[in-house]
Amino acid sequence: MARTFFVGGNFKLNGNKQSIKEIVERMNEAPLAKDVEVVLCPPAPYLDYATSLVTKSQVSIGAQNAYFKAAGAFTGENSVEQIKDCGAKWVILGHSERRTLFGEDDKLIAEKTKFALDQGLGVILCIGETLEEKKAGSTLKVVETQLDAAIEQIKDWTNVVVAYEPVWAIGTGLAATPEDAQDIHAHIREYLAKKVSAEVAEQTRILYGGSANGSNAVTFKDKKDVDGFLVGGASLKPEFVDICNSRN
């Protein structure tokens, strides 16, 4: 069974009502390819607003973070139920910025992932190596270790999308070559087959998340294990539509 092309737009800490309205309306009006699923992830205060603007069935809204408790004295955190109440269907977890800037480790990310899945949210699970780890030749070891924590917690992989994001390529203008990305994605799929099952490995979509843009997205077109993109800065620009249609 063919895996549906998936493009996530991570707005990060950017945007306001006006800019988010422009982005969502652009997606509503764009002639999107039929075989693409698009998830827009604005900052938490705009989840409800963004959801209210979506008119295209291929487009849904996701959050950028969620906690592993349903409610309580957790100031500043985002509740899965509250995210769902805003109409969002996905959440990004394990993003490199959460790992490096906010100290989230593999265990916490795995706990968050399990809780979100158990409560009915889809999860875009981010993994990837830093520049230092890449230079040390540790890329595969790093992604395997990050996956191991999640594999220990996840019982059903149906609503999991894995995003491989080489940290050294985020916001730097650098990007892995399509061949590099294919090699890592193939290894991730093989690892899932070994550690979970061949069926899960075949069905799980693996996204590339390292500075994808309107120009380079098409160069990944024939890479069989690259099932889409998790896009940062380019998701705020008109070229995001080109990324979504890069498989055409």
Judged by phi (left if over 0) then psi (alpha if -120 to 50, else beta), residue 54 lies in: beta
Per domain, the residue ranges of the chain are 5-244
Q: Is the pLDDT of residue 174 over 80?
A: no
Report the pLDDT value the prediction gives residue 245, as an integer from 0 to 100: 97
Examine the pLDDT at 143 and tell me if it is beyond 90: yes
Q: Which two tokens stand for residue 17?
A: 């009502």
Q: How confident is the model at residue 2 (pLDDT cuts 50, 70, 90)?
A: confident
Q: Please check the confidence at residue 1 and state whether its pLDDT lies above 70.
A: no
Nearest-CA neighbor of 92 among 32, 155, 6? 6
CATH architecture under which domain 5-244 falls: Alpha-Beta Barrel (3.20)
Active-site residue list = 95, 165
Contact 112, 95 (CB under 8 A): no
What are the φ/ψ torsions at residue 163 (nearest 5 degrees)?
Answer: -115, 115
Task: Pull the structure tokens for residue 98.
Answer: 């959460």
pLDDT in tens, 75-97: 999 999 999 999 999 999 999 99
Q: What are phi and psi of 90, to 5 degrees?
A: -135, 165
Indicate whether this model's pTM tops 0.85.
Answer: yes
The Cα–Cα gap between 238 and 231 comes to 13
Helix (H, G, I), strand (E, B) or coil at 61: strand
Residue position matching structure tokens 């890479």: 223
